[in-house]
Amino acid sequence: MKHFGTLRLPSGELALVDPCFIKNGVPEELASGGIEQHEEKVMVIKVPGDAEVFIDEKEAHGMRISTVMLYFEDQFDLEKKNHEIIGFLAVDSAQMSYCDARHLGENWIDKHYDDQRIYRHKNTGRTLQYMKDFPNYAVPIAPEGGKTMNDLLESREWEKLPYSGTLDASYNGLCHCHDDKESDIGSVNDHIIVSGTGWGDGAYPVQIYRNDENQITCVSITFMEDDPEFDMEDPEDI
């Protein structure tokens, strides 16, 4: 389990949503506090304050985020506490955001994804940019001796540069805040955190944990279960 950081929730409303579903009036509903569940795409939970965010990862063709946990009191072992599944959330862009609902709604900007992919050679410093120097990763690049971008990346001599644009409360900002990170989790600011979702698209359970006073102590969402029958080599499962 890894600690990522603190999510500030001054409105007392935690919004969970795949960034691609923040549209069609959703920002206005979040800003007004008039939404609890929008189909199976947006969930807003009343919480007691700020959350400490932790992740678990599993090895599956590389390290992937398996569970994201938001603790509202000192960290505890989830397996030793009773919980309830309060719903399932759809994912259609392989990511999930954890936000202060009012902040997200009030600051949302309609901005499409800026697919900026630039790679730099670690020794020479020369760069190659997707859609400028190569149209796809399997096309030979003449100045690189006819090697493809896939070939160059396999050599480990090239590194992807971080996104150079502005990270804001937009689809573009939420996507880019985490997609260059080693653990596939990042933040736009103190009120918006975004992570990858294990196997990617699907529907995932949201669990809440309560103390003896019925106060929420943790909210978690699970993207990868321990399943001995799960065949990671079967494309039907991935």
DSSP string for residues in 96-157:
EEEEEHHHHHHH-B--------EEEETTT--EEEBTTTBSSTTS-BGGGTTB-HHHHHHTT-
Do residues 123 and 157 touch, judged by C-beta distance below 8 A?
yes
The 8-class DSSP code of residue 147 comes to: B
Low-confidence ranges of the chain (pLDDT < 70): 226-238
**Per-residue model confidence (pLDDT) at position 31:** 96
**Per-residue model confidence (pLDDT) at position 227:** 53
Task: Decide: helix, strand or coil at residue 70.
Answer: strand
Task: Decide: helix, strand or coil at residue 107.
Answer: helix
**Per-residue model confidence (pLDDT) at position 20:** 97
With tokens 């321990």, the residue in question is 226
Do residues 195 and 44 touch, judged by C-beta distance below 8 A?
no
Task: Decide: helix, strand or coil at residue 215.
Answer: coil
Q: CB burial class (10 A; 0-12, 13-18, 19+) of residue 155?
A: exposed
Please choose, from the candidates 74, 54, 77, the residue with its C-alpha nearest in 3D space to the C-alpha of residue 65. 54
Task: Decide: helix, strand or coil at residue 206.
Answer: strand
Q: Domains along the chain?
A: 2-110+169-222 (2.60.34), 118-160 (no CATH)
With tokens 């009036």, the residue in question is 25
**Per-residue model confidence (pLDDT) at position 229:** 41
Q: What is the pTM of this model?
A: 0.87
Task: Decide: helix, strand or coil at residue 31.
Answer: helix
The 8-class DSSP code of residue 182 comes to: T
